Amino acid sequence: MPHQLLTVTHHIARLTLHHPPANVLNLSVLKELEQLLTEVEHDNYVRAVIITGSGRFFCAGADLNELVRLTTIHGSLEFAERGQALFNRIERLNKPVLAAINGVCLGGGLELALACHIRLAAAGAVLGLPEVTLGLIPGFGGTQRLPRVVGASRAAEMILTGESVSADTAHHIGLVSYVVPDQDLMARAESLAARIAERGKTAVESALHAVRGGLDIPLAEGLAREAELFSRLCITPEAKDAVRAFLEKRQPKPVNEETVS
């Protein structure tokens, strides 16, 4: 039985983690996620992706039964690098990825959400990196991405204590963009994804490239990259029409289906 469910409608791919009861991540789940990500990446109809979980859990992290079986440094390193490589792919995807955090989001689950471009949480969700309570540290990118999102001090507190935060606290510290009632989470995520999907495909891809890539390089290099991407977009027919439409107080011409699909 697959551990993930994938549906695609209205240019939005919805990927649901389905590994009851806690949607934990093991090697089999990681492999399935890799395959589905490749499928979504190469599907030109898909303009945005939503990742969520089934039941009360978004994802409770790595499968502890599998961690117990890691008895060598080589095997443990391989497992960490497998997860990091997958989450790097999500972060670098040329399509926006939204995490709809429907419930418990711990360890590798939060690391997965951190790799997404936008995060929304249900009101009852809890988020944390509890690895230190097991004598470990986050291994799928948590020590690197969390400080970039919430700042070094708050990230250190969460990682060093292993304590979780509520959805409201996550919103307050900038870990999630929205907190919505549980029953409204997917509708809100789909509405946001649909608004993004309506935008110019090339512009969205360029914006993602500029934002995500700029986090890992000096400001001067990031500014140069932004200027280069901006200049390329300026001469596209899509941008020319959109600017003229604004000046002429009309709607821009629809993006032609070859570009969308």
pLDDT in tens, 94-124: 999 999 999 999 999 999 999 999 999 999 9
Distance CA 198, CA 12 (A): 11
Give the pair of three-digit tokens for residue 5.
């469910």
Q: 124 with 246, same domain? A: no
Same structural domain for residues 236 and 177?
no
d(CA 160, CA 126): 17
**DSSP, residue by residue, 202-238:** HHHHHHHHHHHHHTTS-HHHHHHHHHHHHHHHHTSHH
Shared-domain flag, residues 192 and 224: no
What share of the chain in percent tops pLDDT 90?
71
Residue 1 has a pLDDT of: 53
Is position 81 annotated as part of the catalytic site?
no
Query: Does 16 share its domain with 132?
Result: yes
Same-domain pairing of 100 and 22: yes
pLDDT tens sequence across 220-255: 998 898 899 889 888 888 888 888 888 888 888 776
One-letter amino acid at 192 equals: L
Tell which of 153, 175, 197 closes a domain. 197
Handedness of CA 244, 241, 12, 211 (dihedral sign): negative
What average pLDDT is seen over the chain? 91
Question: DSSP state, 130?
Answer: -
Q: What is the pLDDT of residues 172-196, one digit of tens each?
A: 999 999 999 999 999 999 999 999 9
pLDDT at 259 over 50: no
Selected catalytic residue, list 34, 81, 91, 131:
131
pLDDT of residue 3: 64
Its domain, for residue 106, covers 4-197
Residue 17 · residue 52 · CB < 8 Å: yes
- The pTM for the full model equals 0.90
Contact 241, 203 (CB under 8 A): no
Q: Is there a single domain that holds both residue 152 and residue 224?
A: no
Closest to 58 in 3D by CA, of 23, 33, 92: 23
Half-sphere exposure of 58 (CA within 13 A, CB side): 34
- 21: cis peptide before it, omega within 30°? yes
pLDDT greater than 50 at residue 258 = no
Query: Which element (helix H / strand E) includes 85?
Result: helix 73-92
C-alpha angle 21/176/194, rounded to 5°? 90
- Residue with the two structure tokens 């419930």: 103
In this predicted structure, what is the pLDDT of residue 214? 85
Q: Phi and psi of 98, rounded to 5°? A: -105, 135
pLDDT at 90: 96
Catalytic residue among 39, 81, 91, 111: 111
The CATH number given to whatever domain includes residue 51 is: 3.90.226.10
91 a catalytic residue: no
Q: In this structure, what CATH number is given to the domain that contains residue 253? A: 1.10.12.10
Please name the residue that has the structure tokens 């470990």: 136
User: With 90 as the cut, is the pLDDT of residue 51 above it?
Assistant: yes
**132 plus 42 within the same structural domain:** yes
